[in-house]
Amino acid sequence: MTQDTGRINLRTDGMTCAACSSSIEKAVGKLDGVKEVNANFSNNVVSVLYDGSKVGEEQIVAAIKKAGYDVLADDPDILAERERSNASKIRKELIVSVLFTVPLSVLVMGPMFGLDLPLSGEPEIYSLIQLILCVPVLAAGRRFFTKGYPALAAGTPTMDTLIALGTTAAVLYSVYATIQVFSGDHHSMHSLVYDSAAVIITLVSVGKYIESRSKIKTNDAVMGLLSLTPPTANVIRGGREETIPAGEVRVGDTIVIRPGERIPADGTVTEGRSSIDESMLTGESMPAVKNEGDKIFSGTMNTNGSLRMIAEKTGKDTVLFRIVKMIQDAQGTKAPVARVADRVAAIFVPVVILIAAVSCAIWFIAGKGIEFSVLVLISVLVIACPCALGLATPLAVTVGTGKAAEHGVLFKNAAALERAGRVTTAVLDKTGTMTEGRPSVTDVVSMIPEAELIRYAAAAEMRSEHPLAKAVVSYAEENGIDIAEPSDFVSEPGGGVRCTAGGKEVAVGNAEFTGVGPASGASCLSAEGKTVVFVSVDGEYAGCIAVSDPIRGTAVSGVSSIKALGVRPVMVTGDSEDTAKAVAGKVGISEIHAKAVPEDKLNIVKELQIKGENVAVAGDGINDAPALMQADLGIAVGSGTDIAIGAADAVIMNDDVRSIPAALEIGRATLRNVKQNLFLAFCYNAVCIPAAAGLPYLFGLNMVPEMPMLAAAAMSLSSISVVTNALRLRRFEPLSMKG
Q: Where are the domains of the chain?
A: 5-74, 81-222+328-390+683-716, 232-317, 398-436+552-669, 440-548
pLDDT at 339 over 70: no
Arithmetic mean of pLDDT over the chain: 81
3-state secondary structure of 533: strand
Say which CATH superfamily domain 440-548 falls into: Calcium-transporting ATPase, cytoplasmic domain N (3.40.1110.10)
Residue partners of 695: CB distance under 8 A and separation at least 6: none
The whole-angstrom separation of Cα 342 and Cα 337 is 9
pLDDT computed for residue 1 by the predictor: 42
- What's the pLDDT tens digit per position in 558-613? 999 999 999 999 998 877 677 788 888 889 999 999 877 677 888 898 899 889 99
DSSP assigned state of 54: T
Which of 150-164, 250-264, 402-416, 531-545 has the least mean pLDDT?
150-164
Q: What is the mean pLDDT of residues 227-244?
A: 88
- The helix (H) or strand (E) run that includes residue 211 is helix 194-226
What pTM, to 2 d.p., does this model score? Answer: 0.62
220 is catalytic: no
Looking at the chain, the whole-number percentage of residues with pLDDT higher than 70 is 81
Q: Which position has the higher pLDDT, 308 or 224? A: 308
pLDDT at 459: 92
Looking at this protein, which amino acid is placed at residue 118?
Answer: P
Q: What are φ and ψ of residue 735, in 5° steps?
A: -65, -30
What's the CA gap between 415 and 413, in Å, rounded?
5
DSSP state at residue 705? G
Q: 659, 442 in Cβ contact below 8 A?
A: no
Ranking 181-190, 231-240, 677-686, 695-704 by mean pLDDT, the lowest is 695-704
Are the CB atoms for 387 and 212 separated by under 8 Å?
A: no
Q: Is pLDDT larger for residue 131 or for residue 510?
A: 131
Which of 42-46, 282-286, 326-330, 663-667 is predicted least confidently?
282-286
Give me the mean pLDDT over the 661-677 stretch: 90
3-class SS letters over 120-170: CCCHHHHHHHHHHHHHHHHHHCHHHHHHHHHHHHCCCCCHHHHHHHHHHHH
Q: Find the mean pLDDT for residues 321-338.
A: 63
- Beta-bridged to residue 635, according to DSSP, are 618, 650
Q: Assign 19 a pLDDT band (cuts: 50, 70, 90).
A: low
- CA pair distance 204, 378, nearest whole angstrom: 14
Cα separation, 154 vs 161, in Å, equals 11
What residues pair up with 446 in beta bridges, in sequence order? 543
CATH architecture of 5-74: 2-Layer Sandwich (3.30)
- The single residue of 195, 266, 342, 429 carrying the catalytic annotation is 429
Calculate mean pLDDT across residues 143-171. Answer: 80
CA quadruple 388, 732, 629, 333: dihedral sign: positive
* 207-216, 401-410, 496-505: range with lowest mean pLDDT: 207-216
Give the separation between CA 328 and CA 412, rounded to whole angstroms. 9
Helix (H, G, I), strand (E, B) or coil at 242: strand
Sign (positive or negative) of CA dihedral 383, 387, 393, 395? negative
Predicted local distance difference test score (pLDDT) of residue 329: 63
pLDDT tens sequence across 238-259: 889 999 998 899 999 999 999 8
Rounded alpha-carbon distances, angstroms, from residue 517 to 472, 510, 512, 539: 21, 9, 6, 11
Q: What is the DSSP letter of 434?
A: I
pLDDT digits (tens, 9 = 90+) for 434-491: 887 778 898 898 889 999 999 999 999 887 766 778 889 989 988 999 888 888 888 7
Is pLDDT larger for residue 2 or for residue 7? 7
CA dihedral over 579, 585, 588, 590, signed as positive or negative: positive
Residue range 406-411: average pLDDT? Answer: 83
pLDDT at 3: 47
| pLDDT tops 60 at residue 366 | yes
Quick check: 663 and 737 in contact, CB under 8 A? no
Going by C-alpha positions, the residue among 172, 103, 177 that lies closest to residue 136 is 103
CA angle 45, 7, 649 (to 5 degrees): 90
CATH class of the domain at 398-436+552-669: alpha beta
DSSP H helices in 542-635? 555-564, 577-587, 598-610, 625-630
Residue 71 has pLDDT above 90, yes or no: no
What torsion do the CA atoms of 393, 394, 400, 401 make, to the nearest 10 degrees?
140
CA atoms within 13 A on the CB side of 316: 5
Coil vs helix vs strand at 343: helix
Q: Does the pLDDT at position 632 exceed 50?
A: yes
Q: Average pLDDT, stretch 130-136?
A: 93
Radius of gyration of the CA atoms of the chain, in A: 34
Highest averaged pLDDT of the listed ranges 106-110, 514-518, 713-717: 106-110
What Cα–Cα distance (Å) separates residue 162 from each residue in 134, 143, 168, 201, 657?
Answer: 19, 13, 10, 11, 50
- What is the per-residue pLDDT for 150? 83
Residue with the bigger pLDDT between 706 and 416: it is 416
| Closest among 653, 609, 557, 637 to 422, alpha carbons compared | 609
As a whole number, mean pLDDT of residues 113-123 equals: 68
DSSP letter assigned to residue 551: B
Pick the range with the lowest mean pLDDT from 100-109, 345-354, 407-416.
345-354
- CATH code for residues 232-317: 2.70.150.10
Q: What is the pLDDT of residue 703?
A: 63
Determine the pLDDT at residue 524.
72
Distance (Å, rounded) from C-alpha 198 to C-alpha 533? 84
pLDDT digits (tens, 9 = 90+) for 505-556: 999 987 778 877 654 456 677 667 677 888 999 988 899 898 888 888 888 9
The answer to which of 41-55, 236-250, 306-320, 711-725 has the lowest mean pLDDT is 711-725
Residue 665's pLDDT band (cuts 50, 70, 90): very high
